[in-house]
Chain A
Amino acid sequence: MDLQFFGSILTSTTPILFAALGALVCFRSGFFNIAIEGQMLVAAFAAAAVAVTTGNAALSVLAGVLASTALGVLVTVATYWARIDAIVVGVAANLMAAGVTALMVREITGGSSSLVIEAGRLPRVDAAAAADWGPLAGLVRGQTPLVPAALVSIVVVWWILNRTRTGLGIRALGESELAVWSSGMSIPGIRAATTLICGVLCGLSGAQLALGPATSFSVGMTNGRGFTAMIAAMIGAGVVATALGCVLFGLVDAVGLRIQLADTGMPQAAVQAIPYVLALIVLCTASALRLRGTDRVRRAVLRH
Chain B
Amino acid sequence: MRAREAGLRILGLCLGLLISSLVMVLTGNDLAGFVAAFVDGLGPNLDSTLRWYAPLLLAGLAGLIAFRDGALNLGLDGQVYVGGAASAVVALWWGASLPPALTVVAACVAAVVAGALVAGAAAAMRILFGTPEVITTLVMNPLCALAVTLLVTGPLAPEGGGGNTESSEVIPADLWLPPLMPGSLSTIAVGIALITALLVAVYYRYTVWGFESTVFGSAPEFAFAVGIPNRRVFVRAMLTSGGLAGLVGAAEVLGVQHRLAKSFNPGIGFDGIAVALVGGLTVFGAVAVALLFALLRQAGEICQITLGIPAELVDVIVAIVLLTTSAHVVIRWRRRGRGSPGPGTGATTSPQNATASAEPIEIARQGSAERSH
Chain A residues with a Cβ under 8 A of chain B: 27-28, 30-32, 34, 78-89, 91-96, 98-100, 102-103, 106-107, 174-178, 181, 187, 223-224, 227-228, 230-231, 234, 236-237, 267-270, 272-273, 276-277, 279-280, 283-285, 287-288, 290-291, 294, 297-304
The total of interchain contacts (Cβ-Cβ below 8 angstroms) comes to 242
Assembled-state Cα–Cα distance A95/B270 (Å)? 8
Q: Is B134 an interface residue (CB 8 A)?
A: yes
Would B150 and A96 count as touching, CB distance under 8 A?
Answer: no
A-B CB proximity, top 9 nearest: A99-B315, A86-B347, A96-B319, A32-B352, A237-B357, A99-B316, A224-B142, A102-B312, A288-B129
Would B368 and A100 count as touching, CB distance under 8 A?
Answer: no
Would B347 and A31 count as touching, CB distance under 8 A?
Answer: yes
B273-297 interface with A by 8 A CB criterion: 273-274, 277
Known contacts: A31-B347, A80-B347, A95-B318. The answer to whether A276 contacts B72 by CB under 8 A is no
Assembled-state Cα–Cα distance A270/B221 (Å)? 41
B332 to chain A, nearest CB (A): 9
Would A230 and B326 count as touching, CB distance under 8 A?
Answer: no
Assembled-state Cα–Cα distance A93/B329 (Å)? 18
Point out the residues of chain A lying under 8 angstroms from B357, CB to CB.
174, 236-237
Question: Which single member of A30, A177, A279, A299 contacts B139 (CB below 8 Å)?
Answer: A279
Known contacts: A83-B346, A107-B27. The answer to whether A27 contacts B356 by CB under 8 A is yes
Would A303 and B353 count as touching, CB distance under 8 A?
Answer: yes
Known contacts: A30-B352, A84-B327, A174-B356. The answer to whether A102 contacts B277 by CB under 8 A is no
Point out the residues of chain B lying under 8 angstroms from A175, CB to CB.
356, 358, 360
A-B contact pairs, 5 of them (CB 8 A): A34-B138, A88-B322, A237-B356, A284-B125, A298-B363
Assembled-state Cα–Cα distance A285/B129 (Å)? 8
Question: Which single member of B230, B234, B323, B360 contacts A92 (CB below 8 Å)?
Answer: B323
Known contacts: A106-B312, A223-B142, A300-B368. The answer to whether A86 contacts B346 by CB under 8 A is yes
Of A84, A94, A187, A234, which is in contact with the most chain B CB atoms at under 10 Å from its CB?
A84
Known contacts: A178-B341, A297-B369. The answer to whether A92 contacts B139 by CB under 8 A is no
Would A87 and B131 count as touching, CB distance under 8 A?
Answer: no
Assembled-state Cα–Cα distance A287/B136 (Å)? 12
Known pairs A276-B142, A276-B143, A294-B359 / 8 extra A-B pairs, C-beta < 8 Å: A83-B329, A99-B313, A176-B343, A187-B341, A269-B149, A276-B139, A276-B146, A301-B361
B310-361 interface with A by 8 A CB criterion: 310, 312-316, 318-320, 322-323, 326-327, 329-330, 333, 340-341, 343, 345-361
Question: Which single member of B27, B131, B146, B326 contacts A272 (CB below 8 Å)?
Answer: B146
Would A303 and B220 count as touching, CB distance under 8 A?
Answer: yes
Assembled-state Cα–Cα distance A276/B150 (Å)? 15
Chain B residues with a Cβ under 8 A of chain A: 27, 70, 72, 74, 125-132, 134-136, 138-143, 146-147, 149-150, 153-154, 163, 220-221, 224, 230-231, 234, 267, 270, 273-274, 277, 310, 312-316, 318-320, 322-323, 326-327, 329-330, 333, 340-341, 343, 345-361, 363, 365, 368-369, 371-373
Of A28, A34, A89, A287, which is in contact with the most chain B CB atoms at under 10 Å from its CB?
A287
Point out the residues of chain B lying under 8 angstroms from A287, CB to CB.
129-132, 354
Point out the residues of chain A lying under 8 angstroms from B347, CB to CB.
30-32, 79-80, 85-86
Point out the residues of chain A lying under 8 angstroms from B330, CB to CB.
81-83
Assembled-state Cα–Cα distance A241/B299 (Å)? 48
Assembled-state Cα–Cα distance A276/B360 (Å)? 30
Of B27, B128, B327, which is in contact with the most chain A CB atoms at under 10 Å from its CB?
B327
Assembled-state Cα–Cα distance A51/B131 (Å)? 40
Point out the residues of chain A lying under 8 angstroms from B371, CB to CB.
300
Of B146, B267, B347, B372, which is in contact with the most chain A CB atoms at under 10 Å from its CB?
B347
Question: Which single member of A93, A176, A291, A301 contacts B129 (CB below 8 Å)?
Answer: A291
Would B129 and A95 count as touching, CB distance under 8 A?
Answer: no
Would B361 and A298 count as touching, CB distance under 8 A?
Answer: yes
Assembled-state Cα–Cα distance A223/B273 (Å)? 19
Would B70 and A304 count as touching, CB distance under 8 A?
Answer: yes
Residue of B nearest to A102 (CB): B312
Point out the residues of chain A lying under 8 angstroms from B136, CB to CB.
280, 283-284
Residue of B nearest to A219 (CB): B312
Would B220 and A103 count as touching, CB distance under 8 A?
Answer: no
Question: Which single member of B132, B140, B310, B323 contacts A103 (CB below 8 Å)?
Answer: B310
Would B150 and A303 count as touching, CB distance under 8 A?
Answer: no
Assembled-state Cα–Cα distance A177/B353 (Å)? 13
Point out the residues of chain B lying under 8 angstroms from A301, CB to CB.
220-221, 224, 230, 361, 363, 368
Assembled-state Cα–Cα distance A108/B220 (Å)? 48
Assembled-state Cα–Cα distance A280/B118 (Å)? 13
Would A302 and B220 count as touching, CB distance under 8 A?
Answer: yes
Residue of B nearest to A222 (CB): B142
Point out the residues of chain B lying under 8 angstroms from A285, CB to CB.
129
Would B141 and A299 count as touching, CB distance under 8 A?
Answer: no
A33 to chain B, nearest CB (A): 9
Point out the residues of chain A lying under 8 angstroms from B134, CB to CB.
32, 34, 87
Of A28, A93, A96, A302, which is in contact with the most chain B CB atoms at under 10 Å from its CB?
A302
Would B365 and A297 count as touching, CB distance under 8 A?
Answer: yes
Assembled-state Cα–Cα distance A80/B323 (Å)? 13
Point out the residues of chain A lying under 8 angstroms from B231, CB to CB.
300, 302
Of B273, B322, B346, B361, which is in contact with the most chain A CB atoms at under 10 Å from its CB?
B346
